[in-house]
Structure 1
């Protein structure tokens, strides 16, 4: 669906994409004013932070550079970027072949026996959006709340969007207890849908 956004919304010029494991903590309307300088995708780049686990991702993190197809096509030092909170300029997108590039690489990976990259949707998107990404300030989108417990709490509080990417989702028992309340404080535990999903209020919130 993501790679059909420009076709699904033919009357829209721009959209903000939000993943399902994020929390919005402040007004996102200023995102509309960011000059993407003709690029399609406004995203936080993940190779420029001091965090060696979450914010040090380059193409070598995702792709199998021992495979000749990848080795001759990509640069292992190229900076990666984050899904989860993205600004897409649909007008700029309509002038590209991003969708075709994405599908081409999905087919190449099938031909290679699914050995070109690790599982996930980000690797083929990294290829498809190459040259079409404009880096935005990291305070718009803070990553890694599902990866590591040592996330800086003050930075979490200040971020516009916090992202529980990783296995330790805030609705699971394995969630990091110091990071879970940023999600649980917004949950209506009496809601029928929440109850049917067996999402229970953490003991420390009671």
Structure 2
């Protein structure tokens, strides 16, 4: 919507200094409109029937062609679920005090992760998911349904349209969780440095850093220009 575009493009530094809560939303992952390109995959690739979506902070460790053979049972999105106990459920991402959210979604529904997703683009087109994304974004112009980011609108857009994948396909948390099991990491198809401690930064966690740096060509001109904390 025009209002949301204005939010993304305006300089809001003065607001961030007045309200510490806004500092979180100065993070590029919240401010970059490019993060929302994921909701336009069928338009970007009109001739494709299926696509594997990968974030830029992942490492593919194994052959992932097996994802292509998974039957999504007519669902649009194949993803690894992240809920355990009462954590990482819809109630944590959406404002269930708002009647529109309360009427349409279950707060106990299990959340899932962006970062490694297999999308059936034919099912996406059939279900008109991009239209659904636009519909809810327009309703959320005042950011009362959810705050910012792409996961909340993703949870809404693909609600009841997501097939749960085996967790070994996508192991998360290497950018914030020091307790990820090394066995899980070794067996993972894709490992994901979601969080602030990216492997190319000085604040990266040492136990996970080499899993990324071993693939970096330090002689490459552009790598040297980036001044990674290697």
In the other structure, the counterpart of 1:93 is 124
> Any idea what SS the aligned residue of 1:88 has?
strand
Which of 52, 60, 63 matches 2:94? 63
Which of 44, 50, 55 matches 1:19? 55
Distance 1:47 1:200, change over 3 A: closer
CA distance in 1, matches of 2:82, 2:180: 15
In the other structure, the counterpart of 2:146 is 117
CA distance in 2, matches of 1:63, 1:91: 28
Residue 45 of structure 1 pairs with residue 81 of structure 2? yes
Query: 1:72 Cα deviation (Å)?
Result: 2.7
The Cα offsets for residues 150-178 of structure 1, whole Å up to 9 and x where unpaired, read as 11111111100000011111111111111
The Cα offsets for residues 119-161 of structure 1, whole Å up to 9 and x where unpaired, read as 2101011111112111110100001111211111111111000
**Contact 2:201–2:229 under 8 Å retained in 1:** no
In the other structure, the counterpart of 1:76 is 107
5+ residue gaps, structure 1: 202-206
Residue 33 of structure 1 pairs with residue 69 of structure 2? yes
CA distance in 2, matches of 1:119, 1:91: 28
In the other structure, the counterpart of 2:180 is 151
> Any idea what SS the aligned residue of 1:100 has?
helix
Once the two structures are overlaid, the 10-residue window that deviates more, 59-68 or 132-141, is: 59-68
Aligned length, in residue pairs:
194
5+ residue gaps, structure 2: 1-36
Which of 125, 128, 138 matches 1:107? 138
CA distance in 1, matches of 2:171, 2:119: 18
CA distance in 1, matches of 2:153, 2:109: 14
CA distance in 1, matches of 2:102, 2:74: 29
Instruction: Name the TM-score, length of structure 1 as normaliser.
Output: 0.89
CA distance in 1, matches of 2:144, 2:200: 32
